[in-house]
Structure 1
């Protein structure tokens, strides 16, 4: 038995010598019935990456193998380059037992060792394994290891394992259970699967899933394929054959680009533009395999209905692309993405126009019916709508929003603004009882504005009814006037304080009431609309309006909002999935997000500034201060002073007695403070935070001299107290705008 093992780090060493193996490209396709369109892209990417990762783990794929996903309504597929037919063999060292236990005094195997070897070889004769034993120190004692060679997995074995694992981990919200062709067995998958293709070069790989065995046959377009079924020649011909013989663009990204090209071209020919279309384009890409963009029209009489209603009807119900004129007004033309390319598309266009006409007629009917009752007359009906079983009805909620909005209005603009804000707040939720909002909840607020204007309500009040929901999502605009600001703040504060007050606090990824979004909405309004109101005052006033209905939530909610404020000014950003799940969705502008370091943000927020509208000015001042050559030293000194004062056993807030200043350095520091404080105070009072902080740079030399030559914690109690008071005054001067110690590295 050898003794050539250097240490434990080599005990599980394997060799991935893929370079020495012949490789070919691999194609795997699962043909299914129409997949959920909103999940298709994610399913396609997950299918492709899961198989690729599984093959790489087993040594069948190179690290730089190219992974090309395919996803269409009826298929999930992946093409991978440089896939081996069999993984390389790997060496394995398995730890058995200490030598003293496994070998007797004469070096022969003990019964314990033989029993262990039998368990590893399936109770077969363990004698052949004795020659594979090695001795090495495992860091504690001399130990026996079994040195064996593990045969590399074949592609069929490796792909089977990768497929099984990938299907198990696909992000499927709901599974279907369906019966296989044998009439006896059932399987679970997102949609019934009908065929499996697995080709390594030209050869079929022997794998099976969901009751299907791999071959080389698939299906093209349901109606327009030249050949059905379609026989795939080899892995590399798949995409081209599907396009040419099957009339299918298999790649999600290629199909999306083709649809977008056709949409922009068709709109341009009519001198029209598209509405924002990214989300709809993704969904339509998941609905068609052979896109063909057509133009339809509807009667101009429908344009009397608010265009938001018409656009939502076209996009949400019919997946059409509305077209706008140069002024941004909705035109009577729209684009259809068809899945077929007939010689004469007239019948397809006419059919879509007929369906849309019915939808638009419904919208017009709802609009006409809703206007027969005023918004004000609907307010009483909110008493029959439950908002939350612990917080009462929508009518009770409106009363609270009305009271909060009036309080904010009084503070910002006096009685007139308060009255306008109260009127808007009282009407803000009335459109929830209209037929249009009942059909399209996304239009709440928007329809309220239209109906209020129809009722003769003042324009700024009508605008506020729509705007009180803003900002509704990342990048959304803010309320356009002061009335809207009051009601939007009131609505969000009522939601936050009420739900926090009954214990509905977001945890982890769970935020069913989108409270993070509401908190960031409050932040955006206070900062970007430059509202000069104290955050904690707003929270306390709102809590008071709830009375005994809720438990105190101001402190924990304040912490929650400051944490969101930290994210607002950080470099973090969030994707569409985060937005949909109600996570943090608002961020500052790109310029702001890149402007401040985490230390600078922490320095400002450590003081919990109550006026959020001046946080940005503080950050700008801290950033300018941090760029000074004296900043690093002063920040470190500030941190040191803070530690000294925290450990002091006496009150450090008293007056400084000049008569007790003995050392030249403490006298110089006192003189410097006396000279600098008025300058810093004046700049602070004028709101010039940058100048106020930069004035502190002159303290560096006297501060350094003080700590080099003065003993603060002297045995003389009066002298010690006076020096602590001097340091406390310096710290107070330095930390009015931000906690400078947070800048210390």
Structure 2
């Protein structure tokens, strides 16, 4: 067995920071899969990534010659030869497919019959020749939403590939990847005068990059170095950096030779509302604000440079100038915006389209006012209706302010600040910010009931409008993020325990569009189906059993709180020792009743119940119904299922000792009615057939 160290480095133009880590991990996984496919063993694989390179270092890769076992099963012998013993068309076609003569085939005999088969061992292509192919396949299998094309070959990748290194110890593995010949020259630092850096042996990677130009190829090590540097600088000002993993990840993916610098801005900018100031520093400038021990912002920030300059002061001054310009813009927009109240921007919404076929944002706010009134009435009563309508009235006003036009990501946050300055109620100000929550998977939910109501109203209005226009998401496209909006509504209603019927919510939203010549009932069913698909996805992702989810949803309820209670109750029930026997009993009852080709109706005749086991079962059913009537009204399914445990033994005794198909037709029918009554108990909760 020959073991070596393999290096593969793909030099690219700068890969977008937000997808670098994903692409790097996909490259690693795909390469790993291809090695396993060709039965190429190794000890470990390390993966590296910077904005301009993706690299893999395979330790102890086995490059020795390998063989492939080929086993191909053909048609049955009786189908392979006719009555004269001559090969049939099926046999000849199979032999042609296997690229053999029929006399080279063997026979495979089992208990089920005898088949033609072809077994052989062939030499696999040399590993060294396979490596360029494996590399290209691993790159092409990476899922990239918006790939780029370049040069006459029209190759596609996240960014143009400019260099390929495939090195086995000190040997260059010749081959082409994306039509580029492999070599042993690494991508150098973008600031380096030398375009490439020669590497003699794969074992030198990644140290050679660090020694030559302080490039940290390992993403994790680079991230740790950045965190270490910014913490040291923050402590110099007796401050600290708040944990912002998303920003650290993005900055790590933007640089390959990180150097942290401390800079300052004028104290007057601290008068800018905190969230806006932090947004400009973090989101716009990719810098780290510094806080003191009391969580107050200090007039300092830390930025990460990609160059270890000999003139650091010039870099600091340059970044301070850029930060000053951005904060001056924010200050100017704030001052300009505050010349009028937030509600005074409302009429300007008439000039802004929500969608060309759905009217303006002004019209959307009119719908939101009516929708939020309905939501509040059906969830928390009349207490906060006026406040809720006011929140909907102001909900989109900040979208036409100078601040949001310049910094779109601040929508809602700007509205919150401006509403507070205008002396609006605190609940209204918070709701203006929370209307966009949750904005991504796992994002926090609105904290106030008005924030929840406004968020639901805004999201369902968008979903209804897009379904009117036929803009329904498919497996490949969801341009209006309707799936995310639907999950957001589901999470808010369920987690915040808001008693809204999904069907009624959708119907109300559709009615507010007042579209003529549209089948509202058909569209409502379509939207409900869309929501239920998302609900299955969400519960399954949360960790619930798919069969339990389907058993509850098959009952076609649109009461989300009720659905949630049932899923949780059945999940608990499945952990009980008696659950298996009860589920089997439900299955048995269902099968017996299905075999009767008639509708089983009527009441139980007590006079016909004579045997001990059926008397016992009837008594338990009667007791169960009496004891759970209030529990069903209060939808306490967990308690109901605990009481079902008491039916387990009587059901078992009944089936063991009672002859259901009695010779007396009246007794037989009475026992069917008893079983029907028992089945009704179970179907009142869920469809147990999914749990068999």
Alignment-derived partner of residue 282 in structure 1: 249
- How far is the alpha carbon of 1:50 from its aligned partner? 4.8
CA–CA separation in structure 2 for the residues paired with 1:612 and 1:265: 50
Mapping 1:589-668, distance limit 5 Å? 593=543, 597-645=545-593, 648=596, 651-652=599-600, 654-668=602-616
Q: Are positions 1:346 and 2:313 aligned together?
A: yes
Q: 1:559 to 1:208 in 2, by over 3 A?
A: closer
Aligned residue among 12, 26, 31 for 2:6: 26
How far does the alpha carbon of each residue in 1:135-178 deviate from its partner, in whole angstroms, 9 at most, with x for none? 633779998989785474262x2233334434544555332434
CA–CA separation in structure 1 for the residues paired with 2:616 and 2:69: 74
In angstroms, what is the RMSD of aligned CA positions? Answer: 3.8
Say whether the 8 Å CA contact 2:69–2:119 is kept in structure 1: no
Alignment-derived partner of residue 153 in structure 1: 126
- How far is the alpha carbon of 1:292 from its aligned partner? 0.8
Q: Are positions 1:77 and 2:50 aligned together?
A: no
CA–CA separation in structure 2 for the residues paired with 1:642 and 1:141: 42
Q: 1:72 to 1:486 in 2, by over 3 A?
A: closer
CA–CA separation in structure 2 for the residues paired with 1:641 and 1:413: 42
SS in 1 for 2:500: coil
Mapping 1:678-717, distance limit 5 Å? 678-685=626-633, 688-712=636-660
CA–CA separation in structure 1 for the residues paired with 2:463 and 2:320: 45
Alignment-derived partner of residue 462 in structure 1: 429
Aligned residue among 535, 559, 581 for 1:565: 535
How far does the alpha carbon of each residue in 1:221-259 deviate from its partner, in whole angstroms, 9 at most, with x for none? 34479x875332311012112111232112222222221
Alignment-derived partner of residue 582 in structure 1: none
Alignment-derived partner of residue 134 in structure 2: 162
Q: Between 356-365 and 472-481, report the one with greater CA deviation.
A: 472-481
How far does the alpha carbon of each residue in 1:684-718 deviate from its partner, in whole angstroms, 9 at most, with x for none? 44554333332232223332333344455668666
Aligned residue among 519, 542, 559 for 1:551: 519
Alignment-derived partner of residue 399 in structure 1: 366
Say whether the 8 Å CA contact 1:657–1:722 is kept in structure 2: yes
Alignment-derived partner of residue 39 in structure 1: 19
Q: 1:622 to 1:187 in 2, by over 3 A?
A: closer
User: What is the TM-score when the length of structure 1 is the normalising length?
Assistant: 0.79
Q: Are positions 1:300 and 2:261 aligned together?
A: no
Q: Which runs of 5+ in 2 are unaligned?
A: 81-91
- How far is the alpha carbon of 1:433 from its aligned partner? 1.3
SS in 1 for 2:299: strand
Say whether the 8 Å CA contact 1:54–1:159 is kept in structure 2: no
Q: 1:605 to 1:274 in 2, by over 3 A?
A: farther
Aligned residues: 668
Alignment-derived partner of residue 86 in structure 2: none
Q: Are positions 1:243 and 2:215 aligned together?
A: no
Mapping 1:94-109, distance limit 5 Å? none
SS in 1 for 2:515: helix
Alignment-derived partner of residue 515 in structure 1: 482
CA–CA separation in structure 2 for the residues paired with 1:195 and 1:509: 32
Q: Are positions 1:434 and 2:401 aligned together?
A: yes
How far does the alpha carbon of each residue in 1:156-211 deviate from its partner, in whole angstroms, 9 at most, with x for none? x22333344345445553324348xxxxx997765555544332222233334566
Q: Are positions 1:174 and 2:147 aligned together?
A: yes
Say whether the 8 Å CA contact 1:603–1:740 is kept in structure 2: yes
Mapping 1:346-495, distance limit 5 Å? 346-495=313-462
Alignment-derived partner of residue 174 in structure 2: 206
Say whether the 8 Å CA contact 2:108–2:117 is kept in structure 1: no
CA–CA separation in structure 2 for the residues paired with 1:612 and 1:332: 48
Say whether the 8 Å CA contact 1:607–1:738 is kept in structure 2: yes
Alignment-derived partner of residue 201 in structure 2: 234
SS in 1 for 2:354: strand
CA–CA separation in structure 2 for the residues paired with 1:733 and 1:54: 54
CA–CA separation in structure 1 for the residues paired with 2:270 and 2:336: 17
How far does the alpha carbon of each residue in 1:253-306 deviate from its partner, in whole angstroms, 9 at most, with x for none? 222222122223333444434344323222222222211111111112212222
CA–CA separation in structure 2 for the residues paired with 1:629 and 1:174: 54
Say whether the 8 Å CA contact 1:92–1:150 is kept in structure 2: no
Q: Which runs of 5+ in 1 are unaligned?
A: 1-18, 102-112, 121-128, 180-184, 573-586, 588-592
- How far is the alpha carbon of 1:424 from its aligned partner? 0.9
CA–CA separation in structure 2 for the residues paired with 1:341 and 1:417: 58
User: What is the TM-score when the length of structure 2 is the normalising length?
Assistant: 0.85
- How far is the alpha carbon of 1:428 from its aligned partner? 0.7
How far does the alpha carbon of each residue in 1:308-361 deviate from its partner, in whole angstroms, 9 at most, with x for none? 322222233322122334454443221111112235522211111110110111
- How far is the alpha carbon of 1:212 from its aligned partner? 5.0
Say whether the 8 Å CA contact 1:51–1:159 is kept in structure 2: no
CA–CA separation in structure 2 for the residues paired with 1:700 and 1:54: 53
Q: 1:517 to 1:208 in 2, by over 3 A?
A: closer
Aligned residue among 42, 46, 57 for 1:68: 46
